[in-house]
Amino acid sequence: MLTNPNSDRVRSVRGLAQRPVRRRTGRFLVEGPQGVREAVRYAADRVVDIYLTPEAAARYAADIVDPARAAGLWLHEATPEVLAAMADTDAPQGVLAVVETHHGSLVEVLTARPSLLVFLTHVRDPGNAGTVIRGADAAGADAVLVSSSSVDIHAPKVVRSTAGSLFHLPIVTGLDVEATLTTLAAHGIRTLAADGAGTTLLPDADLTTAHCWVMGNEAWGLPQGIRARCDDVVRVPIRGKAESLNLAMAATVCLYASAGVVRFS
């Protein structure tokens, strides 16, 4: 049982909240039962350590402890104080894991002949990035692409917002925007810029062939140069007096329109 919240081990886990430490160690923090359970289920080979309070170990025996043991993973019991000292959030619900970072490859994604992708070109808000990853998973997207100028998807707040979806579909990071648009075009994937400046309304967009939603920055959208490089610029219709949807909502509506769920007539 780990009892010392000031130990070197605790400090090294806690350090993973910082990007330079993640980069140096190639590891990140997964907090809370949902994320840890999905990590064990879908990325067991990357799980380095799991920390639980005795209470959490009992509560999540079937969900986390048993499958983790079956996969030969390291489980450590720790006091609530130790968990709190390790965590970035106030309430990790008694469980967290250290997991090796993973960056999918664009080549692999394209080789699988995807029909639905989303590309975050300059998304800075961790909650938005995580929520788009969760929405992409739910809508059945094949992968999420992330530019080098976007937020680090292994930051604690992004990981929490994905609610485990980080382990469900390939996520390719560190991409150059222009080069990626060129590559997508070369593979016959239509690029649809989602932007309030679009002239094509979402109900009129051609979503029948393989395509990639291109999302810009929360505040200023997509630069004109990027919009011009896309095959179409599509606007989610706004019916009331709202100026716009937030980025995660717009992305989710677009992805669900692609999935055929949001039908417009």
Q: Residue numbers of the site for its own copies (CB under 8 A)?
A: 34, 38, 42, 127, 131, 134-141, 163-165, 168-169, 202-203, 236-246, 248-249, 252-253, 256-257, 259-265
Q: Cite the DSSP H helix spans in the chain.
A: 8-14, 19-25, 33-42, 54-59, 66-70, 80-86, 106-111, 126-139, 156-162, 177-186, 224-229, 247-258
Taking the least distance from each CB to its own copies, the nearer of 10 and 40 is: 40
Taking the least distance from each CB to its own copies, the nearer of 49 and 218 is: 218
Shortest approach of its own copies to residue 247 CB, angstroms? 11
Please answer whether residues 235 and 195 qualify as being in contact, where contact means their C-beta atoms are separated by less than 8 angstroms.
yes
Taking the least distance from each CB to its own copies, the nearer of 85 and 93 is: 93
Taking the least distance from each CB to its own copies, the nearer of 164 and 177 is: 164
Residue 245 exposure: Cα atoms within 13 Å on the Cβ side: 17
- Chain centroid offset of residue 135 CA: 9
Shortest approach of its own copies to residue 56 CB, angstroms? 16
Shortest approach of its own copies to residue 167 CB, angstroms? 8
For 85-126, list the strands marked E by DSSP: 95-100, 116-120
Shortest approach of its own copies to residue 248 CB, angstroms? 7
